[in-house]
Structure 1
Amino acid sequence: MKTAIVIGATGLVGKNLVDRLAADKRVERVVAVTRRPIEYQSNKIVNQVVNFDELEKYADVFTGDVLFSCLGTTAKQAGSVQEQRKVDFEYQYQAAKISAENGVSHYILVSSSGANGKSISPYLKMKGELEDAVWLLPFKRVSILQPSLLIGERESFRLGETLASWILPPLCMLPFFKRYRPISGDEVAKKMLSISLSSGNAKQIYRLDALFS
């Protein structure tokens, strides 16, 4: 892989992914697309600061072999469901569309377990709508990961996820709940890297258990 592009590079999955990409000898260049400047230790990492509300002005940034889409927020952090949709659907779709038009061949998306464009949950609905939309873009390959609860150190505290990370692990030791067990952001990043460096179907979804190594 010559060039990997990562949006959501400062998030729980994205920052682990950038580190893994930079450390892998098979990857020549990592473009970390962020809203604010970030300093990286590796010379392989190029930080591109963009205004996500005007992504069309930064089309040249989205040129490479693989686009990793790791953006995500909560309604509380964003301020409303409408603002959350900007991040979880509009920004990601626009980045994917520009990348496809630029000839990026492989798109890898971190979605969510239960994503469904017809869901009554606004969060799962927007995740499902994004999945439905990117399937139609002219990528040679689309890989979608649907993890359950993501755990690990975040930049901002999320009470609900913190409580769930305490409750779910012992509950998921029970046979019925095992496949819904939480997964670390780094484990998802590890799987994304593996998918990008191996062959696979033109369109493929990786659900829950398939994400664990």
Structure 2
Amino acid sequence: MFDSASIIIAGSTGLIGHYLLNFSLKNESVNRVYSLSRRSLDETSSKLVQMVSDDLSIDKNQLEEQTPDIGFITLGTTIKKAGSKAALKAIDTDLVVSVAQSMREVGVRHIYVVSCIGASSSAFSHYLKCKGEMEDSIALLGFSSTTFMQPGPLSGDRSETRKDEVLLQGVMSIINPLMKGCLLNYKPIEGEVVAECMLDLALQNDNAVGVHRYRSKAMFEMKS
């Protein structure tokens, strides 16, 4: 278990990343938080070092003596927001892998990446295929441990409203009581829960090795 961890977060303005940032700043086991973002954050803390750039690059001059042990990547988009399949792949695969490579280069040993259930490089769905290719690439980067969070539908407040998710959440609210066992992997899960699980796993597993995947069922069980 980490007693004094230094972490770096890419995607701290998104649904999961925002919660993750706030949990990290409040956690006594975290003494330094580096954030990678395209715009400055509203949060202020003596723990926080902001790295602002269009390409989410890591400014090595801003890294202090304790380089980050743990990296979190919570980046992602939708085909509607991206505008094309190529643009979605540029973010969900290429950008995520590039950020992971940068984290590895500065000494991050354990990485936690938000993916999604069904991610597979052989998937028929372009979205799931992009996520799968991202996972395959990051798994080969040589981190001491690599953990992919694979939630089902996400619920929770966003800075933007996604109509498809609102519709799905409405339908799921009716059938949620019936969802048990493996069906829990497809039950809407709050971004706050995913973020909390990511931080808990990271701080508890300082000796973790290999590649791991956690789906919604496991996350619900962790927080029950």
- TM-score over 0.5 for the alignment? yes
Instruction: Indicate conservation of the 8 Å contact 2:154/2:188, yes or no.
Output: yes
**Separation in 1 of the partners of 2:31 and 2:184?**
37
What residue is the counterpart of 1:209 in the other structure?
Answer: 217
When residues 126 and 2 of structure 1 are mapped into structure 2, their CA distance, relative to the original with a 3 A threshold, is same
Structure-2 residue corresponding to 1:144: 148
Q: SS at the partner of 1:21?
A: helix
Asked if 2 retains the 8 angstrom alpha-carbon contact of 1:66 and 1:196, the reply is: yes
Q: How does 1:145-160 map to 2 (within 5 A)?
A: 145-160=149-164
- Please list, as runs of the form range in 1=range in 2, the aligned pairs for 1:177-192 lying within 5 A after superposition: 177-192=183-198
CA contact (8 A) 1:172 1:180 kept: no
- Partner Cα separation in structure 1 for residue 28 and residue 162 of structure 2: 35
Query: Does the CA-based 8 Å contact 1:112-1:147 persist in structure 2?
Result: yes
Q: Distance in 1 between matches of 2:150 and 2:184?
A: 15
Question: Within the alignment, does 1:163 sit opposite 2:171 as a pair?
Answer: no
2:116 paired residue number: 112
Q: Secondary structure at the match of 2:33?
A: strand
CA contact (8 A) 2:70 2:108 kept: yes
CA distance in 2, matches of 1:40, 1:175: 37
Task: Return the alpha-carbon distance in structure 2 between the equivalents of residues 89 and 196 of structure 1.
Answer: 23
Rounded Cα–Cα distance in structure 2 between residues aligned with 1:38 and 1:135: 30
Which structure 2 residues correspond to residues 1-213 of structure 1 after superposition, within 5 A? 1-52=4-55, 55=57, 58=58, 60=60, 63-175=67-179, 177-199=183-205, 200-212=208-220, 213=223
Gaps of 5+ in 2: none
Name the CA shift for 1:102/1:80 in 2 (closer, same or farther; >3 Å). Answer: same
C-alpha distance in structure 1 between counterparts of 2:171 and 2:152, whole Å: 14
Inter-partner Cα distance in structure 2 for 1:138 and 1:178: 31
Q: Deviation of residue 47 (structure 1)? A: 1.5
Report if aligned partners of 1:172, 1:179 keep a CA contact under 8 Å in 2: no
Deviations along 1:20-41, one digit per CA (max 9) or x if unpaired, are 0000000001111111112213
> What's the RMSD between the two structures over aligned residues?
1.7
- Give the TM-score normalised by structure 2: 0.88
* Aligned partner letter, 1:181: K
SS of equivalent residue, structure 1 residue 36: coil
Q: CA separation in 2, counterparts of 1:179 and 1:96?
A: 26
**2:15–2:157 Cα contact (<8 Å) kept:** yes
Percentage of pairs with the same residue: 34
Q: What CA distance in whole angstroms lies between the structure 1 residues aligned with 2:204 and 2:5?
A: 14
Aligned residues: 210
Code of the residue aligned with 2:11 in structure 1: it is G
- Output the TM-score relative to the length of structure 1: 0.93
In 2, are the aligned partners of 1:67 and 1:108 still within 8 Å (CA)? yes
